[in-house]
Amino acid sequence: MGNLRDYQRKRDFSRTLEPATNEIGTTDRRAIFVVQLHHASRRHFDFRLQIGDVLKSWAVPKGPSFDPQVKRLAVEVEDHPLAYADFEGDIEHGYGKGHVDQFDQGVWTTPGDAEAQLQKGHLRFELFGKRLKGGWHLVRSGRKERQPAWFLIKAKDAFAGDVEADDLLNAKMTRSTRTAAKTPATRAAAKKSTARKKSVPRTKKLPRVRLAKAAAALTGARPAMPSNDFFKPELARLRASPPEGAQWLHEVKWDGYRILAAIADGEVKLWSRNALPWNDRLPDIVQSVESLGLHAARFDGELIALDGRGHSDFNGLQQTLSGEAQLPLVYMLFDLPSLEGSDLSRVGLLERKQLLEKLLAHGPKHLAFSTHVIGDGQEVFRMASDKELEGILSKRIDSPYRPGRGDDWLKIKRRDSDEFAVVGYTPPKGSRSGFGSLLLAKPDPQRRSGWIYVGRVGTGFSNAQLQKLSRSIADKGRAKPTVELAAIDPLLRDAQWVKPVAVAEVYYRGIGNKNLLRQPSLKIMRTDKTPADLVDSDRASSKPAKRKAGAERRKSVESKPIDIKITHPDRVVYPDDSYTKQDVVDYYTSIMKWFLPGVVDRPTSVIRCPEGTAKACFFQKHLIPGLKQVGSVTMKEESGARATYIYSRDAGSVIELVQFGVLEFHPWGSTIEQPDLANQLVFDLDPGDDVAWPRVVAAARLMHKLLAQLGLASFLRTTGGKGLHVVVPLNPGCAWAQVKDFAHAFAATVVQAHPLEFIATATKAQRSGKIYIDYLRNSRGATSVASYSLRARSGAPVAVPLRWSELGKLKSGHDFDIRSTPRRLARLRSDPWAGIDDVRQDLGAIIGKLR
């Protein structure tokens, strides 16, 4: 959501071909920039950066300059819709009359929050277009102007040079410039456009011939035909601990996306590990690989995003690829299977990496070499774990590059770690001395002095640790367990049990059956702690493990004391109504017990308006840096990639999000515990602009009646916009694919029976005079506005649940707002949706009966 009011106010869309608005609020693509040459009354270049779902725009009279010493005036103008990025042609009437040419377009990145940098008056960013490349600055001018004035300045980098925007015009733009040459300024521009042309500055290319000779001289190198087709990557096998010995090298396991790069005849193609082309999504990486100046090569690596501190940020990578953020991307390279006509797949890994390191020594900053350590696997893994990296990869230094999964590459993931008391040991076996494994336990929350057995740890010990621990527990054990056993383990038949005597910090990969640790491995013996410390810690942090349902769950999410500092409470958030940020906080606080049940433990997308609805608003579904009380959960997306989503845990989570500028909450129709099972179905009735409200009311009643005929109870909600939601609870839950198919079939049936009233096609041009039944909210990852959520629209409307008996009293879908909703709730004697959590209706069984 962005501020397009000024854009729309200045234009008569019945007389201009310019796009009126965005069709949708999110793009699910990289954030773009666009530069357009506008032959208006005063010729200028329009420079636009996508932030959120609008194009922030500046008019640059003389166009961008590649000379870092030149400051080009950039006058801030109104935000434009994303659809404007593709606009080209004549504006024949009114505001902006003149011809518009496309000058350049591409993606852009910035190390940090773009909106925050603009507020401070200095945005540092990088462009990846066909003409504009490298680093740039937008710096706010100190001069007082009628419109905010900035300076657009080229950064000092490999793309800097004595080049102006007019030097890069093509024949079409040059003709447009000459045609528009009516004033001294445009005549001067036309004269310059016919002058000697210059090319875009380029980075220096590497000595390809020398590298080709070095590759061909390696032992095992063979001639190869250049190809930029997909090639199968080598995959790693999961191991619990790193291998020992100097025949292994160890690398960081980067937290990103595996990307393969192939070059043939200088043409670069990027591929995912599943053979999907990625050139369109990664023009910055394509340009970086092209800048190496290679004729033929194959690279293997991981795509990562860098946050403001230069650290790898997987959430930031997800947000950047979906257009929510603009973090710089880096292609972290760790292998070189082919180079300049030489197949290196049979060359030893260490030699391949040494050549790769030389190749990248003077390469672009978006290509990085993944360094390694030879030997010391346990120490490398410990360091990676201490730095909270994803883990390490261990590879045989003399291994060839083999497609598929084998034993030459091993991945050792960082595991969860926790502290446990040592409560016994098993006898040693084979050549091992002292003990076989240590027996671990955690405090029993039900009994003050009790302990619960959690499993055995037998790996990760050094010889010194084995000897020391053996001396401390030798001859102190007994056959009778000193802790509560949840399961009988035949391997404990000869175990010796002791009272809790020491504390071990242990890595593990989750909790298995009978609440036993999975694949535990010793991290360190905590000589600074005693078992008594664990008892105190566990008591302070213990919490119920099971979720409650129905009315009992509603009580369990009542507001707790909220300790969130609200900054800028007087900031006006809704300018048309003078509602402030504190008003928004007060609203959500006052209706919290009604609001929470609809959002707690549900993955949630939010609409953030940090500067209020008059400025750019942002769609956010991933974790925002700085959040402390909001929950996060990592789940697999439809693409197969894993992403970290946010969700509300309690009232503190909600208010923390409001502090970060959130106005709207849009939860999934499923929970974090069962994301693949829908527990509600939503039909959004969205009327065309010329549909009278009584028809919307009749449509909702018809949907209610038809669903009831199928045996499905449904509930009613205003959207805070033009329409209504008909919500169907599902208990037990139903697989998303089945829910989506049912919703589609039901909507199609209604349209078929009432073709003059309804439509189930999203195309706006076909909605005139009809009510759109939006069934597309019923798929995994889709969202609907939460009950009692504010909307980022004039008037601060609210989406409000109603009884079906109240439908006839409604005058619109935005009858309730930030002021009237709390008053309504204060008058209610019971919840309009009372019992919704306890309704049992099995969609799968109903579908089975219909077949």
Taking only the tens place, the pLDDT of each residue in 361-373 is 888 999 999 999 9
Residue 692 clears pLDDT 50, i.e. is over it:
yes
574 versus 523: the higher-pLDDT residue is: 574
Residue 537 clears pLDDT 70, i.e. is over it:
no
* Residue 769 vs residues 213, 512, 696: alpha-carbon distances, Å: 71, 57, 11
Residue 797's pLDDT is: 97
Residue 191's pLDDT is: 56
Residue 445 clears pLDDT 80, i.e. is over it:
no
Domains of the chain are: 5-193 (no CATH), 226-413 (3.30.470.30), 416-541 (2.40.50.140), 549-851 (3.90.920.10)
Among 514-518, 658-662, 697-701, the range scoring the smallest mean pLDDT is 514-518
Query: What is the spatial distance between Cα 432 and Cα 463, in angstroms, rounded to a whole number?
Result: 9
* Residue 30 vs residues 288, 315, 446: alpha-carbon distances, Å: 17, 14, 51
Q: Which amino acid is at 104?
A: D
Tell me the average pLDDT across 668-690: 92
* Residue 413 vs residues 354, 515, 779: alpha-carbon distances, Å: 25, 21, 32
414 versus 287: the higher-pLDDT residue is: 287
Q: What's the mean pLDDT when you consider all of the chain? A: 86
Query: What is the spatial distance between Cα 236 and Cα 407, in angstroms, rounded to a whole number?
Result: 7
Q: What is the pLDDT of residues 782-796, one digit of tens each?
A: 999 999 999 999 999
- Percent of the chain topping pLDDT 70: 87
Residue 1 clears pLDDT 50, i.e. is over it:
no
Tell me the average pLDDT across 706-727: 95
Phi and psi torsions of 836, nearest 5°: -60, -35
Q: What is the pLDDT of residues 596-617, one digit of tens each?
A: 999 999 999 999 998 899 887 8
Residue 8's pLDDT is: 85
Catalytic residues: 253
71 versus 459: the higher-pLDDT residue is: 71
Query: What is the spatial distance between Cα 621 and Cα 623, in angstroms, rounded to a whole number?
Result: 7
Tell me the average pLDDT across 213-221: 94
Tell me the average pLDDT across 818-833: 93
523 versus 764: the higher-pLDDT residue is: 523
Q: What is the pLDDT of residues 380-390, one digit of tens each?
A: 998 888 777 77
Q: Which amino acid is at 391?
A: G
Q: How far is C-alpha 484 from the chain's CA centre?
A: 43
Residues 6+ apart with CB under 8 A from 513: 487
Residue 539 clears pLDDT 70, i.e. is over it:
no
Residue 543 clears pLDDT 60, i.e. is over it:
no
Query: What is the spatial distance between Cα 443 and Cα 536, in angstroms, rounded to a whole number?
Result: 9
Residue 552's pLDDT is: 46
Residue 592's pLDDT is: 94
Tell me the average pLDDT across 519-548: 62
Residue 550's pLDDT is: 39
* HEC per residue, 710-753: CCCCCEEEECCCCCEEEEEEEEEEEEHHHHHHHHHHHHHHHHHH
Q: Is the dihedral of CA 466, 471, 473, 475 positive or negative?
A: positive
User: What's the full length of the chain, in residues?
Assistant: 851
Among 192-196, 343-347, 497-501, the range scoring the smallest mean pLDDT is 192-196
Tell me the average pLDDT across 691-709: 95
Name the token pair of 406.
């084998």
- Percent of the chain topping pLDDT 90: 52
751 versus 28: the higher-pLDDT residue is: 751
Confidence of residue 64 (pLDDT cuts 50, 70, 90): very high
689 versus 641: the higher-pLDDT residue is: 689
Confidence of residue 44 (pLDDT cuts 50, 70, 90): very high
Whether 604 and 668 have beta carbons less than 8 Å apart is answered as yes
Residue 369's pLDDT is: 96
Residue 246 clears pLDDT 50, i.e. is over it:
yes
77 versus 490: the higher-pLDDT residue is: 77
Tell me the average pLDDT across 417-443: 83
Site of tokens 């969700």: 647
Confidence of residue 549 (pLDDT cuts 50, 70, 90): very low
* HEC per residue, 242-272: CCCCCCEEEEECCCCEEEEEEEECCEEEEEE
Alpha helix locations (H) across 34-183? 114-120, 171-179
Q: What is the pLDDT of residues 565-583, one digit of tens each?
A: 899 999 999 999 999 999 9
Beta-bridge partner residues of 102: 36
Among 48-62, 173-187, 309-323, 470-484, the range scoring the smallest mean pLDDT is 173-187
Q: What is the pLDDT of residues 827-845, one digit of tens each?
A: 998 899 988 988 989 898 8
Residues 6+ apart with CB under 8 A from 458: 426, 436, 437, 438
Residue 259 clears pLDDT 90, i.e. is over it:
yes
Query: What is the spatial distance between Cα 262 and Cα 84, in angstroms, rounded to a whole number?
Result: 34
Confidence of residue 507 (pLDDT cuts 50, 70, 90): confident
pTM of the entire predicted model: 0.58
- The four Cα atoms 277, 281, 285, 289 give a dihedral, to 10 degrees, of 30
Burial class for 702, CB neighbours closer than 10 Å (0-12, 13-18, 19+): middle
Confidence of residue 564 (pLDDT cuts 50, 70, 90): confident
